Chains A and B, each alone.
Chain A
Amino acid sequence: MTALILQSLYSGLLSGGSYALIALGLALVFGTMKIINLAHGEMVLLSAYMAYVMENRLAVNPLLATPLALVVACLIAVVVYFLVSRISRNRELNSLILTFGIGIILTNAALIIWSADIHSTSAPGFQEPVVLGPLYSMRSELGFFVASMVLVAALWWWLSRSWYGRAVRAVSSNRDAAKLMGINPHRTEVVSFVVAGILASVAGVAIYSTGVIQPALGASLTTKAFIITVLAGIGSIPGVLVGAVLIGVVEALTVTLYSSAIQELTGMALFLLVLFVLPNGLFGAARRRG
């Protein structure tokens, strides 16, 4: 039993790493613009398809597709920003519907271009086991976990130390005041979308390298990212990481202790519980949602 639980904690931790990568971009844009980008999961998905295209057409290692995925994801991110910023009124809700629409467009575009078939990497070495005592994982899982930790740390450093990062935080806490301080809020918001795109592109390559992709995946990635953002609370990078690992571990433990049939249910229930009981999330700054 101990071995089972240890392994499920480890599995949950590793899944949490890739969840964090997906959720961070959503949380960043949410923090800056109070906009939930419901097309975020599709951005991740299209990055994953770029990795597939590179591997399938040019027979290169999917990791080398990251630059292409980066360009595609950032391009989508900028287009989403451009469209969202044109919304004239009630931006909070209308942006939700607009990005929902963009998500539908991207999902169906993927379906039209690549059909409903499943795809995953066949590059050698990615799925080789790595054994650490009683803990087992694939090489790619562990690799991307480390990569995501590095990215989280980099993002945290960027937000707290760099000029742009501070500008992002300033715009997120008070847009008008930031403007008076000489920060161009538009440029800052574009930057936050682009950073979300960068994170999405790495997440996409990671998903293609460790799991299986298909067009319908995007929406469920967005839902998961949103759940984690809520668990974290707005504006907390470590919160997103903890939230992501928490979801990963809760899912894995549900499988180990009961059954995988209800693992989505426990995730959703946790989400609603936090939403109702801790309106600011686990780590959020004090801000009401009601």
Chain B
Amino acid sequence: MKSILRQIVALLLLLAPGLSTADAKEFLLGAELPLTGSLARVGNGTLEGITVGVEIFNRHNPSHKVKLVTIDDESSPAKAVAAVEKLASQGVVAITGGYGSNIIGPASDAANKAGLVYMTSGGVGNELTARGLKHFFRTNGSAGYTKAMAGLFTDMGIKSVSIVYSTKEATTELANDVAKAMRARKAKVAMHPFDPTITDFKPIINKVKLQDRSEAIAMVGYENDYVGILRAAKVLRPATVKAVVGVWSLATPKMAADFPDLMPNVYGTAMLPYPAGFRTAEGKEFADSYKRLYRKEPDYLGQFGYVQAQILCEAIKRADAKGTLAKGGLADEVRRTRLNTLIGQVAFDKNGDNPLFQQRMGQHQNGRIIIVWPKESATGKMNYPAVPW
């Protein structure tokens, strides 16, 4: 009986869009993301969130139908510019996109030239917002990561930290920002840049162990770097270290599953605990839709993607209601956004940055990820001092 009911509901849901589109206004929303190439994984993750965001918006707003047009930028700046131009020629009202500051930079330049709003969550570089483009918006800047990392260290009472960072662009910038913040708090900071191709981190960690004798290791890199650093640290066991803290792509369920022996007690930025627990109605709806579409738990990429799509869709609706959409009023409408979203408060400044953004820090504990910073978002107690070895 129950299953028949469910089938009927499903049938109605299937029919509903068909019925409502008859009088729904359609808007094209462009998505330019790296679906292939070196950034394929993060690009696809973000796209999943964007798709969910658009789907939920359409469900709640039968009178408006946002249609997503996606182009792969192949993790290449030139292709991203071409993609933006193609989207512009197809008549999209805005572009949601981009991963990696090096790709977002030229792509959003092209969008700005075409007078299209460009919204991203995938580039933390300060130089992006320093341009002061009228049509550029981003939900999360480097500052939010610096705040979280430095904030966690401060709460721990860390007096000395060794920052081990990749010489790539976003990592160098964040490492320098964290160093500045920590020095301002009178902590001793040692910097260890590394070439992105290296695999043996023992010589670096040995410097941390014997020369720096720091209380904490801050890792600013990517997944393969974290694995290398943690393995080296597990071998050398620097005795003074009380915490190992990383940034993106670290406090994720995937890392917990793939490297169960390396992750215990490691910290990383995390918007979500794992297993994901959403307390708000909005969060629950997002997680349900996500699971239905992709048969997996949502991750932080999906969450950011969802929020950037949500902000754009809402602004499109408002601009359309005021009749300013065709006259380039979307940028002003996005700038008026004041939302409490799944990633926290969002409000844009004149450069399109979201100064309210603040990352959260999670800690790997027994195969789960517990949010431990800031205190108001914490889902559990932090293990400190504690290291993976």
Spell out A's residues near B (CB within 8 Å).
3-4, 7-8, 11, 14-15, 115-120, 122, 124, 127, 129, 136-138, 211-212, 214, 216, 220, 251-252, 255-256, 259-264
Contacts and interface: CB of A to CB of B under 8 A. Distances in A.
B207 A211 contact: no
Contacts of A115: 40-41
Contacts, number: 95
A122 B211 CA distance: 31
A7 B203 contact: yes
Given A4-B206, A15-B200, A212-B199, A122 B228 contact: no
Contact of B206 (A15, A129, A256, A263): A256
A263 B199 CA distance: 12
B313 to A, nearest CB: 30
A136 B236 contact: yes
B206 A8 contact: yes
B318 interface: no
B38 A116 contact: yes
Given A115-B40, A129-B235, A256 B207 contact: yes
Contacts of B223: 118, 212
Interface residues of B, number: 34
Given A129-B235, A255-B203, A118 B192 contact: no
A129 B235 CA distance: 5
Contacts of B195: 260-264
Given A136-B235, A211-B228, A260-B198, 15 more contacts: A4-B203, A8-B206, A11-B202, A115-B40, A118-B224, A119-B258, A122-B261, A127-B231, A127-B234, A127-B235, A127-B262, A216-B38, A255-B207, A261-B193, A264-B195
Q: Secondary structure of the A side of the interface?
A: mixed
B239 to A, nearest CB: 13
B347 interface: no
A256 B262 CA distance: 24
A-B pairs with lowest CB-CB distance, top 5: A260-B194, A255-B203, A212-B224, A261-B193, A129-B235
A260 B171 CA distance: 15
B40 A118 contact: no
B134 to A, nearest CB: 35
B224 A127 contact: no
23 contacts: A3-B210, A4-B203, A4-B206, A4-B211, A11-B202, A115-B40, A116-B41, A120-B259, A136-B202, A136-B206, A138-B235, A211-B199, A212-B223, A212-B224, A212-B228, A220-B197, A252-B203, A255-B204, A255-B207, A259-B194, A260-B193, A262-B195, A264-B198
